[in-house]
Amino acid sequence: MLSEELLSAWLQLGAVIDNQRLVSDLPFNEAMVCGLLLRAQEQDRALTASDLCAQTRILKSQMNAILNSLERKGFLQRRRSQSDLRRMELSLLPGGIEHYQKSHRQTLALVDRLIASLGQEAIETLVPLLLQVADSFDRILKEV
């Protein structure tokens, strides 16, 4: 049955990505949050924990654990917004930026190896299909 095959492939890929850290010292969710924070900082925007939850669909309790871990590592700074004292804005500290960028380069090197393994044409076909799957699944989940 096609639905069983798709689910099995999806779970297998998810397990490989989630269980085999792409970079040994930065868990997937921490890397994702660092990437979002860095892109926001590069655009001179501030993000809050709520913003990150909305963008990643990570539960607030899980996001707090991620942010606490990044803060303990010295990668993250929390500060009150000057325009709205109720807002706690998040930013990466220089050490967090450096660590994330190093990890990101290592991840890109792995992705380059995947491209070499599968071939550029296959990847050029796969990327739009994956984006279409994500968009379609997102719409389906909103209907449930």
Domain spans of the chain, in order of start: 2-143
In the numeric block, the tokens 């796969």 are attached to 126
- From residue 36, alpha-carbon distances to 3, 55, 104 in Å are 33, 9, 12
pLDDT at 107: 85
Residue-by-residue pLDDT tens, the chain, 144 positions: 999 999 899 889 888 776 666 656 788 899 999 999 999 999 999 999 999 999 999 999 999 999 999 999 999 999 998 888 888 999 999 999 999 999 889 888 988 999 999 999 999 999 999 999 989 988 998 898
- pLDDT at position 18 is 67
- In whole angstroms, what is the distance from residue 39 CA to residue 34 CA? 9
Q: Which amino acid is at 41?
A: Q
DSSP string spanning 70-110? HHHTT-EEEEE-SS-TT-EEEEE-HHHHHHHHHHHHHHHHH
How many of the other CB atoms lie within 10 Å of CB of 144? Answer: 4
Domain 2-143 fold is Arc Repressor Mutant, subunit A (1.10.10)
Q: Which pLDDT score is estimated for 130?
A: 92
pTM of the model: 0.80
CB atoms within 10 A of CB 102: 13
